[in-house]
Amino acid sequence: MFYWGNSVSSMQTEGGWNEGGKSLSVYDIVEPAENRSDWHFANDNYHHYEEDLDLMKDLGMNMYRIQMSWSRCVKDGCGEFNEEGFAYYDRLLDAMIERGLEPMVCLYHFDMPLYLAEKYNGFLSREVVEYFVRYGEEVIRRFHHKVKYWLTFNEQNLYWNPDIAFRIAGYLNGDKTEDELYQIGHHVMLAHVRIVNYVHEHTDAKIGGMLAYAETYPATCDPKDIQAARKADEFMNRTLLDVFARGEYSREMMQWVKVKGIDMDCTEEDLELFREHHEDYLAFSYYSSSTVSAAEIPEGTTPNYYMHYGKKDNPYLATTEWNWQIDPDGFRDVLNKIYQTYHMPVFPIENGIGVQEEWDGVNEIQDDYRIDYHRRHIQAMKDAMNIDGVEVLGYLGWGLIDILSSQGDMRKRYGVVFVNRTNHDLRDMKRVPKKSYHWLKTVIASNGEEL
């Protein structure tokens, strides 16, 4: 079966931030700003998820990837299990299954419990690894009979990205050193591997690692740019894929750690767990691509930091309002990079285009640009499958019913369904299909044949 579906996170959809026994996450205390909402209401799926599920069923989708909130399931992330929280997710899963939507569950999507961030600095601490494993094992124990597809961390390579890692790992205090970056990345990988082992030891479910895979090209044909692009890919993508598929970090990365004297808090016991584990598929998000120029990168820079210094726009590609460059050929290339190297099923579980849109209250939004974006990316995926021989499990769009962006900005809309709210005015939250809704319904009904 090929899966067509939708992906979301809990803090971008649920709301109900102080209901049902939920404790605070780091997102719950974020203050609104000019172009940022608070996270208190989101789409209010805590109270009104059935309408969105009905829309997914009408579209013909057969999978819905959600995230369960650690703070909703466990008091402060480390205390008592919250039965009200588990009951909510039980109802949600049942409602999905009733509509023919195969659940995929992610355990963590950047929303560290506030208590663990304040006390332990999030995933910088091994104690937080233990608390996460306790939470994850309990969720899997309760729901593995309903959920056959699991993820641990959304976009796990972002924990190795110095511009993002500290924000999403629950890190609140410190100097954001290179050692700390590598410790966070390794601790997250350790937590991931332990959950993978638990799934395979105790259930018949499937689980895989997930990356945010942005294709990176050399800015020019200068060999130094080509090397910079390769090394950025090695340190930000392939080293994690090596763990997922082969049970060990990239030798190139580990040699760099040794030569540079980076303290990543990695023990032989950790590495043995890596070697013992196995995964069922390799998942990733894909939105855009960029280029890298070696001329901008200081000598001796660790490759995780290359894009911080050397990222350049690609003059051959169109771009969105947020300067995300549209590149379906890059999507095909990433599908091939992963599959042809590791020979494991590949699962693109986020793809979409964020655009500012307004609804006049009467007429359907004519989002031909969204149709064009998804058409070209789905065709690129089909070419990877039919011409290149890539084994692809499905295609999940991101936020196909409008949700808050990752920065809390409701202006940035990915959906084929408009949600009638703004950053600071909840309005009536009416769900209004766009032109792309009807197109996508035809695509899914034809299993991708009619684009």
Active-site annotation, residues = 155, 350
H or E, element range at 286: none
Q: At what angle do helices 126-143 and 83-98 cross, to 10 degrees?
A: 50
CA–CA gap between residue 216 and residue 91 (Å, rounded): 41
Half-sphere exposure of 318 (CA within 13 A, CB side): 8
Return the closest-CA partner of residue 334 out of 298, 384, 297: 384
> Please, are residues 4 and 364 in contact by the beta-carbon 8 Å criterion?
no
φ and ψ at 107, to 5 degrees? -90, -20
User: DSSP secondary structure string, 156-215?
Assistant: GGGGG-TTTHHHHTT--SS---HHHHHHHHHHHHHHHHHHHHHHHHH-S-EEEEEEE--E
CA–CA gap between residue 13 and residue 445 (Å, rounded): 26
Q: How many CB atoms lie within 10 A of CB 216?
A: 23
Return the closest-CA partner of residue 154 out of 206, 112, 203, 202: 112
